[in-house]
Chains A and B, each alone.
Chain A
Amino acid sequence: MSSALLIDIGSTYTKVACFDLERAELLARSQACTTVREDVNLGLQQALENIPGWQQADYRLACSSAAGGLKIAAIGLVPGLTAEAARRAALGAGSRVVKTCSYELTEADIAELEDLAADIILLAGGTDGGNQEIILHNARLLADSKIEDPILVAGNRSAADRVAELLDKGKKEFYLTENVMPELEKLNIEPARERIREIFLERIVKARGLDRVTELIDEVVMPTPAAVLRAAEILARGTSEKEGWGELMVVDIGGATTDVHSAAAGTPTRSGVSQRGLEEPFLKRTVEGDLGIRYCASDLFQAVKPNRWQQLYQSFYEKDLELQQLEDYVNKICQQTEYLPVSQEETELENMLGREAVRLATSRHAGSLRTIYTPRGASFIQEGKDLTGIKKVIGTGGIVVHNKNPELVLAGVLQENQLEEEKLTPLAPDFYLDDDYLLAAAGLLAEVEADAALRILQKYLKEIDQGEKN
């Protein structure tokens, strides 16, 4: 029997799952508190105690988002072009984007970057052969700063040598890779993503003390969000042996953020639509830092209009909502982030928060359609991804996993539930639940045994009954 031990060292818990690869069977799972501050192995050891025979596993791999995850500051030129391309590369690599800068950096930006202590600074700007002035200015400022973070240069190729020279003079640790936007609106984030992952493995894993896991297991191979994105990819595309599910989305509603992943081309589904703006990656990840249902629940509460909360409550439960009641609850969970709903009312309030977090996060992730009236009649412009045709949406995170009606929350993705018209979110997808938290594990496994990873995902993700879905 060949088996794999897959570990997710999260900020709170270290989760371990053990699979039989031939039968695509979950043999055991366990978790313990993450102990990255003292010694990551303490928590890992404790979690492993409940996994019989873990020492015999053929693969023993881990991903991690512990100690703040991977933090990246993205720098570009125009906000909607190279700055956005740099952001997408960073998000796609599984990082948290702690700051995005455009145009010339200012002294204030540099001061903020010095304080932020990001893990990597991603420096882009200019198409190949395009603007050099700004990236050179920015490199000069970075070189003169007190910043010690590694700098990954992914901007105008023609300026790369001089950027390197400047950073070298400033004694900065830096790496060069391909431009994230070599031609106007052409996205090229793979090389930067790969390089970020290498820097994560070579430098950050060690700096966090995560490399000590090699005393027990093989190694940490990627940040957790990158593993989830990899799982979405393999599940959508399939392998040479086994067909995938086709285009899909993964929505992860957490305490601090709501993450949306789409594995989809997102090209127009209607005829006569022209696509605008920066090219969209097939694998896209967005992270909404203001849409969590614990740490930033008050931001979420503020982001939605009071009468919208009331309407929603009425439509869910056919009774009136006292807004004060919701506000009090939001304040409570913001402060006691470990709090779980006890009463029926609290569960109802949680569902509403989850629903709106999902709605807003997917509306920001998906593209939109604009109608332009021309002398020749109406014409349509699509910006971002068209996800209306998505057939499968996978939900994860406590709010949907521990919920009798996860479909109430996940229905936030549906186009009919969006407030703005022409938001290109899914029309009528099937909903699935990752209630064993296997996405990250499967993404890790996909690195070594892609077929087994796919079989496990298709077996363990559970379809949610949506009742009278039309």
Chain B
Amino acid sequence: MSQNSVPTVVLGVIGADVHAIGNQILEHALEEAGIEPVNIGVMSSQQEFVEAAVETGADAIWVSSLYGHGEMDCRGLRDKCVEAGISDILLYVGGNLVIGKCSWEGVKELFLNMGYDRAYPPGTRPQDAIDDLRQDLVEQRESKDVVCSLD
């Protein structure tokens, strides 16, 4: 993870999805909030998310999926992170994750079970996710401190 004080977030749109606008808004919102965005753009593969996170020492990966194939595209990302040595990176996912009539609670659970730390429904304000990120990073640091003091 990045050793400097500014958190880094890799963000992009996964799969064959070409919806660019929301992702650009997220990038601006992160920048405004003093977080370093690494935007890998649309039509990004899991591999590209992981490689970008490894090389930039990112604290979190934010995956967007808006075309309804989210479940298929997002599955296995956590495993790849574990494999690449960044197992404790925060994974957030958001967008129109599935098509069809499903309750949001069900969808959320599906993605949390796939190893994502947070999942967001359509209409979420960027600020909400940014607030969550700050909180998660603080918690992560505290839990690491606990581990260190136990050593």
Q: Are B57 and A129 in contact (CB under 8 A)?
A: yes
Separation of A274 and B13 alpha carbons in the complex (Å): 14
| Interface 9-residue window, one of A262-270, A367-375, A439-447, A460-468 | A367-375
User: When A and B form their complex, what is the total count of cross-chain residue pairs whose Cβ atoms lie within 8 Å?
Assistant: 69
Separation of A274 and B45 alpha carbons in the complex (Å): 14
Q: Are A78 and B54 in contact (CB under 8 A)?
A: yes
Is A341 on the interface with B (CB-CB < 8 A)?
no
Task: Specify which chain B residues have a CB less than 8 angstroms from the CB of A373 in the assembled complex.
Answer: 16
Q: Are B3 and A158 in contact (CB under 8 A)?
A: yes
Task: Specify which chain B residues have a CB less than 8 angstroms from the CB of A62 in the assembled complex.
Answer: none
Separation of A402 and B48 alpha carbons in the complex (Å): 46
User: In whole Å, how far is B33's beta carbon from the nearest beta carbon of chain A?
Assistant: 17
| Interface 9-residue window, one of B35-43, B102-110, B124-132 | B35-43
Task: Specify which chain B residues have a CB less than 8 angstroms from the CB of A129 in the assembled complex.
Answer: 2, 4, 6, 8, 36, 56-57
Task: Specify which chain B residues have a CB less than 8 angstroms from the CB of A127 in the assembled complex.
Answer: 38, 55-57
Chain B residue with the shortest CB-CB distance to A103: B85
Is A68 on the interface with B (CB-CB < 8 A)?
no
Q: Are A379 and B55 in contact (CB under 8 A)?
A: no
Is A126 on the interface with B (CB-CB < 8 A)?
yes
User: In whole Å, how far is A375's beta carbon from the nearest beta carbon of chain B?
Assistant: 6
Is B52 on the interface with A (CB-CB < 8 A)?
yes
Interface residues of A in 167-197 (CB under 8 A from B): 181, 183-185
Q: Are A80 and B51 in contact (CB under 8 A)?
A: yes
Interface residues of B in 18-60 (CB under 8 A from A): 18, 36, 38, 40-43, 48, 51-52, 54-58
Is A81 on the interface with B (CB-CB < 8 A)?
yes
- Given A80-B51, A81-B51, A379-B18, are A130 and B42 also a contact pair (CB < 8 Å)? no
Is A141 on the interface with B (CB-CB < 8 A)?
no
Separation of A127 and B54 alpha carbons in the complex (Å): 10
Is A131 on the interface with B (CB-CB < 8 A)?
yes
User: In whole Å, how far is B56's beta carbon from the nearest beta carbon of chain A?
Assistant: 4
Task: Specify which chain A residues have a CB less than 8 angstroms from the CB of B16 in the assembled complex.
Answer: 372-375, 379
Is A376 on the interface with B (CB-CB < 8 A)?
yes
Is A358 on the interface with B (CB-CB < 8 A)?
no
Is B117 on the interface with A (CB-CB < 8 A)?
no
Output the residue of B16, B18, B42, B56 with the most chain A CB within 10 A. Answer: B56
Task: Specify which chain A residues have a CB less than 8 angstroms from the CB of B17 in the assembled complex.
Answer: 374
Separation of A381 and B45 alpha carbons in the complex (Å): 12
Interface size class of B (residues with CB under 8 A): 20 to 34
Q: Are A379 and B43 in contact (CB under 8 A)?
A: yes
Q: Are A81 and B43 in contact (CB under 8 A)?
A: no
Could you mark each residue 61-81 of chain B with 1 if its beta carbon is under 8 Å from any beta carbon of chain A, else 0?
000000111000000000000
Chain B residue with the shortest CB-CB distance to A381: B43
Chain B residue with the shortest CB-CB distance to A83: B55
Task: Specify which chain A residues have a CB less than 8 angstroms from the CB of B48 in the assembled complex.
Answer: 276
Task: Specify which chain B residues have a CB less than 8 angstroms from the CB of A82 in the assembled complex.
Answer: 55
Separation of A77 and B51 alpha carbons in the complex (Å): 9
Pick the contact of A126: B18, B36, B55, B67 (CB < 8 A). Answer: B55
Q: Are B18 and A131 in contact (CB under 8 A)?
A: no
User: In whole Å, how far is B70's beta carbon from the nearest beta carbon of chain A?
Assistant: 13
- Given A132-B3, A158-B3, are A78 and B51 also a contact pair (CB < 8 Å)? yes
Task: Specify which chain B residues have a CB less than 8 angstroms from the CB of A376 in the assembled complex.
Answer: 18
Separation of A184 and B2 alpha carbons in the complex (Å): 14
Q: Are B57 and A274 in contact (CB under 8 A)?
A: no
Q: Are A131 and B56 in contact (CB under 8 A)?
A: yes
Q: Are A130 and B18 in contact (CB under 8 A)?
A: no
Task: Specify which chain A residues have a CB less than 8 angstroms from the CB of B67 in the assembled complex.
Answer: 374-375
Q: Are B51 and A130 in contact (CB under 8 A)?
A: no
Q: Are A77 and B52 in contact (CB under 8 A)?
A: no
Could you mark each residue 75-111 of chain A with 1 if its beta carbon is under 8 Å from any beta carbon of chain B, else 0?
0011011100000000000000000000000000000
User: In whole Å, how far is A18's beta carbon from the nearest beta carbon of chain B?
Assistant: 49
Q: Are A126 and B52 in contact (CB under 8 A)?
A: no
Interface residues of A in 316-346 (CB under 8 A from B): none
Task: Specify which chain A residues have a CB less than 8 angstroms from the CB of B56 in the assembled complex.
Answer: 126-127, 129-131, 184
Separation of A129 and B59 alpha carbons in the complex (Å): 12
Interface residues of B (CB under 8 A from A): 2-4, 6, 8, 16-18, 36, 38, 40-43, 48, 51-52, 54-58, 67-69
Task: List 6 contacting pairs A-B, 8 Å CB cutoff, sorted by A.
Answer: A78-B51, A81-B51, A130-B2, A131-B56, A132-B3, A274-B43
6 smallest beta-carbon distances between A and B, as pairs? A130-B56, A374-B16, A131-B57, A130-B57, A78-B51, A127-B56
12 other contacts beyond A81-B51, A374-B18, with CB at 8 A cut-off?
Answer: A77-B54, A78-B51, A78-B55, A126-B55, A129-B57, A130-B55, A130-B57, A132-B3, A132-B57, A184-B55, A372-B16, A379-B18
